[in-house]
């Protein structure tokens, strides 16, 4: 799934989509998966399409979506569940100050499009007037800091999180920021798809200036100025691949040293405006702030004001009237291929999950998540950890001393399943039934205050960094923890009534994936206490790096669209976790009664059903535009390679489906990747 580093990783078959509830009680894998197998494809040629081909060739992506299927696209049917909850509480008579009142009124305010349309961009005018009042560099930075209080970030990428080298305490971190395009490379590539994205982004900014009063020629000229500033900032940005280097992106220094290096930023005044006191901070990408320091002196105040206006307008566009939100959608659809806007109710579910996610999560868990499921997942995690420890013992490339340290780290894991033990409070968020924009601002300010209030405080090991209803899972190296929210603990990943083969191939693979993240190219640099510290012997770490390079080399050969390849160096952590996750899940499955049996169900052996389940949980189909952006910016490989990539390296898969030389997925045994 994904890894939370520095506290920042499915199929529309009838059974998966009809009601979004766990599948009805059954003794085996839901029949749609078995019947959907495309027997015209050899398992050893393309196992993903062998399992999913019939579905893939017949399913239609809804016009309002960028894709369909499992994992993140399960959040679409998941949002239907949440919409039912929100619609219900919005119509109820709720106690003032209760989470039901906050959720219901926030939802109602967003559904009140008549009021939103009437207001246009009036709610934003006071902020735009403040930008107009900027006279010099000092007042410019004062505005940046004041806007930051409402989580309206621009040129300063601030957050509070664990110190990489002292993970028990929270410190200030500053990261590169300031861009409107998805990634720095979008400003410099000249291929046709990238130029299309650039043009769409410029049109978006031009539309925003036009909607707030500029004539066509002026709006275009203003956009060129804004884009020029962003492109200069982008020159200093590290690439996504460069940001994977944990040690190179940790640069803790004293505030005095930061001020000396970049005096134009006015760090002391900036922090004072935010109400923060700190004598040091982690400047993750120093080159960005050195560039910003120079640009603050070189770029005119009037040009900076245009940049800030574009930033404010784009940040809030979706909270304004339809012309603004449509402009934002017109840009996003070029990135995603999504043809039409989502229904308003679906958009509001996303907004509320982002702003009051744990309040909504409380209602979701009560209705849809059972304690029996939580107990069963904990049992699976126990078994996966046992299997991982045993696998470490059997490694032929690692010394005994490093094995001991690895097992200490594994033993020190903490886990979170289903939902938080301690729910976050949103009591400071002021929610009115007729004030959507103000609700958004209040929630954003609350989020910022919640984050910075942790500065200098001990790290809260109970905190969650996703909402319970989200279909995801993550590994958090500074806390040495793995997290499985209630949203993913449903079909096709997990069904409490299904057999072990299905569940170990589903959620078991996910659990193994998240455990392996603690031992991928990034996670391996953190010790059992969550600190960046070398716990390897030099020889073992050199062998490990050589093995991860093999992962990079193999995945870089996989094609996605025409000549577009997977970025092996960007996806190495997730690919390592996929390969390790399948191996560990399989070992854990073999500890079960069914795993040691050979009884067939629906004509398939237990091992075959295990692998069928793996292919089923990554049943995904996306639009090409979405996939192009995904490959450029996402640390995960596309779904087909999350299945075929690991399996072509896994011996038990070869045995289960009689994969032979000449099959397209076949790799000679001495060429198969094996790390964990």
Ranges of residues in the chain whose predicted pLDDT is under 70: 1-35
The one-character DSSP state at 540 is H
Instruction: Please state the separation of Cα 14 from the chain's center in Å.
Output: 27
Q: Residue 492, preceding bond cis, omega within 30 degrees?
A: yes
Model pLDDT, residue 157: 98
498: left (phi over 0), alpha (psi -120 to 50) or beta: beta
For the chain, what are the domain ranges? 2-80+369-419+461-671, 122-319
Model pLDDT, residue 73: 83
E strand map for 298-418: 414-418
SS3 342: coil
Residues forming a β-bridge with 280: 254
Identify the CATH assignment for 2-80+369-419+461-671 out of 3.40.390.10, 3.30.70.520, 3.10.450.50, 3.60.150.10. Answer: 3.40.390.10
CB atoms within 10 A of CB 277: 11
Residues forming a β-bridge with 175: 157
Which residues, other chains included, contact 419 with Cβ-Cβ below 8 Å and sequence gap of 6+?
A: 361, 362, 365, 369, 464, 468, 485, 486
Strand order across the 414-418 sheet: 2-3, 474-476, 481-485, 414-418
Q: pLDDT tens across 605-620, in order?
A: 999 999 999 999 999 9
Which residues, other chains included, contact 546 with Cβ-Cβ below 8 Å and sequence gap of 6+?
A: none
Q: What is the pTM assigned to this prediction?
A: 0.92
Instruction: Please state, in angstroms and rounded to a whole number, the distance separating the CA atoms of residues 400 and 519.
Output: 16
Model pLDDT, residue 76: 77
Place of tokens 């004041």: 146
CB atoms within 10 A of CB 71: 23
Is residue 234 exposed (0-12), middle (13-18) or buried (19+ Cβ within 10 Å)? Answer: buried
Model pLDDT, residue 21: 32
What b-and-e string marks burial along 180-191, b requiring 16 or more CB atoms within 10 Å of the CB? bbbebebbeeee
Identify the CATH assignment for 122-319 out of 1.20.120.420, 1.10.760.10, 1.10.1380.10, 3.40.50.970. Answer: 1.10.1380.10
């Amino acid at each position: 799934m994904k890894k939370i580093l520095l506290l920042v990783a499915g199929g529309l078959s009838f059974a998966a989509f009809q009601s979004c509830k766990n599948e009805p009680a059954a003794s085996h894998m839901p029949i749609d998966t078995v019947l959907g197998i495309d027997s015209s494809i050899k398992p050893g040629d393309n196992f993903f399409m062998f399992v999913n081909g019939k579905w893939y060739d017949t399913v239609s992506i809804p016009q309002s979506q960028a894709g369909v299927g499992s994992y993140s696209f399960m959040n679409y049917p998941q949002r239907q569940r949440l919409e039912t909850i929100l619609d219900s509480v919005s119509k109820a008579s709720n106690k003032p100050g209760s989470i039901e009142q906050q959720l219901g009124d926030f939802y109602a305010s967003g559904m009140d499009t008549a009021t939103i349309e009437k207001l246009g961009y009036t709610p934003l005018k006071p902020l735009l007037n403040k930008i107009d009042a900027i006279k010099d560099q000092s007042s410019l930075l004062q505005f940046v800091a004041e806007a930051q209080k409402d989580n309206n970030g621009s040129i300063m990428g601030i957050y509070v999180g664990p110190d990489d080298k002292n993970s028990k305490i929270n410190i200030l971190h500053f990261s590169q920021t300031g861009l409107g395009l998805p990634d720095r490379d979008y400003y410099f590539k000249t291929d046709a798809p990238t130029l299309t994205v650039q043009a769409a982004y410029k049109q978006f900014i031009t539309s925003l200036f036009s909607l707030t009063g500029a004539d066509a020629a002026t709006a275009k000229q203003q956009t060129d100025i804004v884009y020029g500033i962003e492109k200069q900032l982008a020159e200093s940005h590290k690439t996504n691949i460069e940001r994977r280097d944990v040690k190179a992106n940790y640069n803790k220094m004293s505030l005095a040293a930061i001020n000396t290096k970049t005096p134009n930023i006015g760090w002391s005044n900036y922090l004072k405006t935010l109400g923060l006191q700190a004598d040091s901070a982690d400047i993750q990408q120093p080159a960005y702030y050195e560039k910003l320091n120079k640009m603050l002196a070189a770029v005119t105040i009037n040009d900076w004001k245009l940049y800030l206006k574009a930033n404010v307008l784009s940040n809030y566009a979706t909270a304004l009237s339809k012309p603004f939100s449509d402009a934002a959608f017109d840009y996003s659809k070029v990135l995603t291929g999504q043809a039409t806007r989502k229904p308003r109710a679906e958009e509001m579910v996303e907004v509320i999950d982002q702003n009051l996610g744990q309040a909504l999560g409380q209602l979701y868990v009560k209705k849809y998540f059972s304690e029996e499921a939580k107990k069963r997942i904990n049992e699976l995690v126990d078994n996966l950890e046992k299997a991982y420890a045993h696998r470490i013992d059997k490694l032929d490339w690692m010394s005994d001393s490093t094995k001991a340290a690895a097992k200490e780290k594994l033993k020190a894991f903490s886990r979170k399943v289903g939902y938080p033990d301690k729910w976050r409070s949103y009591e400071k968020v002021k929610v009115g039934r007729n004030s959507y924009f103000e609700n958004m601002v209040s929630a954003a300010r609350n989020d910022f205050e919640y984050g910075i209030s942790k500065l200098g405080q001990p790290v809260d090991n109970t905190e969650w960094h996703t909402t319970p209803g989200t279909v995801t899972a993550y590994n958090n190296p500074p806390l040495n923890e793995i997290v499985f929210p209630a949203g993913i603990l449903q079909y096709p990943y997990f069904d409490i009534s299904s057999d072990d083969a299905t569940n170990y191939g589903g959620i078991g693979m996910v659990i193994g994936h998240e455990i392996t993240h603690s031992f991928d190219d990034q996670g391996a640099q953190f010790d059992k206490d969550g600190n960046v510290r070398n716990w390897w012997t030099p020889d073992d770490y050199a062998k490990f790096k050589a093995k991860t390079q093999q992962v990079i080399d193999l995945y870089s050969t996989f094609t996605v669209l025409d000549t577009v390849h997977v970025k092996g160096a960007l996806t190495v952590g997730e690919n390592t976790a996929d390969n390790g996750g399948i191996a560990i899940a399989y070992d854990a499955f073999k500890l079960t009664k069914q795993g040691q049996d050979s009884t067939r169900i629906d004509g398939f052996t237990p091992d075959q059903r295990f692998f069928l389940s793996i292919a089923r949980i990554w049943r995904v189909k996306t639009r090409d535009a979405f996939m192009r952006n995904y490959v450029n910016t996402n640390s995960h490989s596309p779904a087909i390679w999350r299945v075929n990539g690991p399996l072509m390296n896994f011996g038990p898969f070869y045995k289960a489906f009689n994969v032979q030389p000449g099959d397209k997925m076949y790799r000679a045994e001495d060429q198969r990747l094996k790390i964990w």
